[in-house]
Structure 1
Amino acid sequence: MTTPDHQSPSPRPSGTETRDRIYRSPAAVAGGVLMLALALWLGIDAAVNGAGRTPWLALAVLLLLVPAVAAYTLRPAVFAGEDRLRIRNPLRVIVLPWGQVASLRAGYSNEVFAESGTKYQLWAIPVSLRARKRAARQEARRAAEASGKDGRRRGRGPGSTDGLVAGAVGGLGGGAAVGDGRPVRAQSDKIMDELRQMHEARGKAATAQGEVSVRWAYEIIAPAAAGAVLLAVVLAVG
């Protein structure tokens, strides 16, 4: 599940700024923290107490593993601002002004398409098919309850009190699934709906125009490559 940290995307007064909406996966962050803690504990222990080539092997594995784990768990995030969408994927950072966004699509993965046709995946907003199925079941159950209530109301005469009693029971608990009438959606699909709304609201704004920029995450790639080289050298030397 992905959770947002956001403020309203309403037009900002002149001279003021609003914070970006930030989307990331709490499950990925929690898993990354646990994996990094375990890797650092074992790696540091091996580097300090190991003998022979063990400390060098531990150092090489840490250099390779820590950036890789951080890249795919802690790093991914989506920043949705008034004028642009910034996507921080494991190995790249993509900045798309809203005017350059052609569409946002939710399938087996969540993706954004630029006007040029280039597709970028939103790593920080993973799709959960289980959550979608659960939302579909809740929506079907809610629709069935709503149609059942409508049928009961139509079947009562104007002088009957059964409809009032049924309505009171529904208000106490039976109608909780109906909620405010909005369709039940999985969390990732709700987030994609929010991003589509921002795109529709800001896509034609003068400040939301510009070029798409893509930057490689050399702060991740460089130490991981160094760790891979060191590991290969240690294994080759024996």
Structure 2
Amino acid sequence: MAAPQAPGPDSSRTAPDSATLGRALLWPAAAAGLGMLLIYNSIGSQADDKPPAPPAAVAPAASAPAASSPAAVVPKQSSPSPSPALTRSVPTRLRIPAIAVDAPFTPLSIGAGGRLNAPPPNDKNLVGWFKDGATPGERGASIVAGHVDTTTGPAVFLQLRFLRPGSTVDITRADGVVATFKVDSVEKFSKAKFPDKRVYADTPDAQLRLITCGGDYDRKAKDYVDNVVVFAHFDSAKKA
């Protein structure tokens, strides 16, 4: 899988001590079978780095032989059934009780330059979801991003780093279902050594990644040096 690209200069920032913008998401191409790849980069440097478009969708597996054919007899599988997952439905609201998050979603898409657009920087209480990826609760890794702060002050994911294993994340979907995820781990990664495969690779079950900026602020680079990533798995569903 391709390595994350280094953030470009951010000439738009003139006051390093003021509230900083979150980072936009890059979507470099990935090797076949490794799933999709994201990395947060500075909103102010959107014109600097131009990663390629996301990888093409994986072709569906070949169909099994017809039941009437002798070759269609398949021995009973001894492995356990896949973890439960929901059908596709777009997310509408994110709630994380432990850190008082209650925010609507906005869809994120790939821009003309091959960049995944960031959530609007003028809204402190808004999270973005990559609309061409797995929906929350659907099989695969659903990617949700939010700003840690904006030019107007602290933003929706300011306290994301304080989540702990076992914390719950509730995502209301357009189909009226609330998908509940349980946090497995909260980790901080250097942007220079971001573990792309671990964070963005496709998964056989329904999982969730919550991503924002973290660590120290590099005044010279005008950027945060780390990313905070929450790893969570689909736990249950109920009607809203």
TM-score under structure 2 length normalisation: 0.24
Q: Which has the larger helix fraction?
A: 1
Q: Which has the larger strand fraction?
A: 2
Larger Cα-atom Rg = 1
Q: Which has the higher contact order (CA 8 A, sep 6+)?
A: 1
